[in-house]
Amino acid sequence: MCGIVGYVGPQDAAPILLEGLGRLEYRGYDSAGLAVATKSGLKVRKVSGRVADLAADLPARFKGAPGIGHTRWATHGEPTPENAHPHTDAAGRIAVVHNGIIENADELRAKLAADGVEFASQTDTEAVAHLVAAAFQAGAVDLEQAVRQALRQVVGAYGLAVMDAEHPDRIVVARNGSPVLLGVGEKEMFVASDVAALIGYTRQVVYLDDGELATVTPTGYRTFTLDDRAVAKSPSTIDWDVVGAEIGDHAHYLIKEIQEQSRTIERALKGRIDERFDTAHLGGLNLTVREAREIRRVKILGCGSACYAGDLGAQLIEDLARVPASAEPASEFRYRNPVVEPDTLYVAVSQSGETIDTLAAVQELQRKGGRVIGIVNVVGSTIARQVDGGIYLHAGPEMSVAATKSFTSTVTAFALLALHLGRIRDLSPEQGRRIIAGLNALPEQIAQVLEQSDAIAEVAREIAGSNSVLFVGRRRGWPVAREGAQKLKEVSYVHAEAYPSAELKHGPLALVSPELPTVAIVPDDNLLDKNTSTLSEIKARKGPVIALAHRELPSDLADRTLVMPKNEPELDPILMSVPLQLLAYHAAVALGRDVDKPRNLAKSVTVE
């Protein structure tokens, strides 16, 4: 949520800021703005709407540097130009952009108002600009000192960047619970909340940790703490490329990323299959064989699609490693008082590596002595650096808000983890070879699923006019149904619910009617008879049925069958997820939705 970009150097800042903000549009936002330093002071431009609207609104002479830009996802006040960032003090000397939430904003605003400050917005962020200005009035000698004095009064989460018209050679940034990083260029520097903003400008980045600040100038950077202790930080190299973040000739990022899944699964597997011992090689776990054998339980934490992937991961771990495993929404886990067991392995799942609820759960576990590994896509992200070890997905940038390639890559990573743990225990070499053969077959089978896109689009157009859609599945099909329902509602806005097939008789069957389509996950496994019995119950009540199956089902069980290639039972959910992504995509297109940026949603959820 929200995006920050900053630039200091010899070039005009505005074009660089606009390009960076454009690369952050996938995060979700409702307004945008820029501030640049000129010889006559700061220039600020803000709009409610898209980055393209901001670019169109800029005057021809909006030139200068340094500059900061922001895309806002509303938390305090409606998405209006007044509430958009950057925010300034009354004199227009200080400009601030901010991600996160200042929890004591009401108290700060009341105190500042009592001192005569008049606010121009409803936001929590504006208070920071006035606090920095007040610090100068109280005797702060430079921008670093003024920002430190201001932040000592702030309670809450923030990633922020601050400019001062009277110090136009620098930007000061700070982090506490919301990501901020520095980009190191040649006689120029960048700041951002996400590495995606820097693609094409630099591959050298410096990640700030909570409680750290930095000053960037054209010649370099200095990192320090709130009490002005120096912190040594070295740049890391990012491996994302411009091509991976470009839409190319695709209509939307979402369909591009769906179609990339054969390659992303290959990357997730690359270098991790050990055919000599019929196992998976996962050196990043930082677990010895002895430590892995001592694990008695696995607990998986994630939010949204990451949690559904965790449900599938838990079943893989139980099936292959015979270790009790379960998944739970990190947003719920963080608010209870969990029992943290020394022989439990905790797994945090996050595409962005910045999901605030998941990060808070990780930190709580580590405070209580828990061992936590991560399954993360973004190298160098906060969760990736916080955990004790883990698995990178290497799926490349996922620009659409809806998770697709990151979901299937996550489940693939869980299959590797389950294989690794299983072979350390009692999984036989023969069973290990079976799973490896299934994993190696996935890329080609996903390509076969993608060839059915036109047929799936026809089904999608049929259900797009429905008020609601029911998704059902048993065992491994149940998390697939949940993920399918989420995809449909988040990108098409068609209401969708998912239920375990066996639960229909316990209430939801009352909803079945000719107006309610059901999407059923019907793999050809040992529960096939149970699943076809469920379809009979739905058809007996005249409910339309669309089945995902490994064979064509008779018309008295399904109105339409989408026949999928068959893999091993443990891996079939990966393949079954892909047609549901296509179903959601084509339904959204048929309804004219903003496919890549669904309303009210954000890619990286960094606020509660």
Report the alpha-carbon distance of residue 542 to residue 401 in Å, rounded: 35
Q: Are 417 and 427 in contact (CB under 8 A)?
A: no
Active-site residue 2, yes or no?
yes
Report the alpha-carbon distance of residue 434 to residue 106 in Å, rounded: 60
Active-site residue 303, yes or no?
no
Task: Compute the radius of gyration of the chain from its Cα atoms.
Answer: 25
Which of 256-259's residues contact partners 24+ apart within 8 Å by CB, and which partners?
A: 257/398, 257/399, 257/400, 257/404, 257/405, 258/404, 258/405, 258/450, 258/578, 258/581, 258/582, 258/585, 259/450
Catalytic residue among 299, 566, 597, 603: 603
Distances (CA, A) of 452 to 241, 402, 449, 456, 578: 30, 21, 6, 6, 10
CB contact burial 266-279 (16+ within 10 A = b; e otherwise): bbbbeebbbeeebb
Q: Which two tokens stand for residue 191?
A: 């700041």
Report the alpha-carbon distance of residue 598 to residue 76 in Å, rounded: 20
- DSSP type of residue 92: S
Catalytic residue among 2, 46, 299, 566: 2
Q: Are 68 and 97 in contact (CB under 8 A)?
A: yes
Report the alpha-carbon distance of residue 581 to residue 143 in Å, rounded: 48
Q: Is 116 helix (H, G, I), strand (E, B) or coil?
A: coil
First to last CA, the chain: 10
Report the alpha-carbon distance of residue 428 to residue 167 in Å, rounded: 67
Amino acid sitting at position 485: A
Q: Are 9 and 78 in contact (CB under 8 A)?
A: no
Report the alpha-carbon distance of residue 212 to residue 146 in Å, rounded: 15
Distances (CA, A) of 323 to 28, 284, 319, 395, 421: 38, 21, 8, 28, 9
CB contact burial 392-411 (16+ within 10 A = b; e otherwise): bbbbbbbbbbbbbbbbbbbb
501 φ/ψ angles, rounded to the nearest 5 degrees: -55, -40
Nearest to 230 by CA among 128, 144, 351: 144
| Torsion of the alpha carbons at 405, 411, 417 and 423, rounded to the nearest 10 | -120
Report the alpha-carbon distance of residue 492 to residue 588 in Å, rounded: 4
Counting every residue written for the chain, the total comes to 608
H-only helix segments in 252-295: 253-259, 261-269, 289-293
Report the alpha-carbon distance of residue 317 to residue 125 in Å, rounded: 45
Report the alpha-carbon distance of residue 280 to residue 604 in Å, rounded: 30
Kindly give the pairing relationship between strand 87-88 and strand 94-99.
antiparallel
Q: Which residues are catalytic?
A: 2, 603
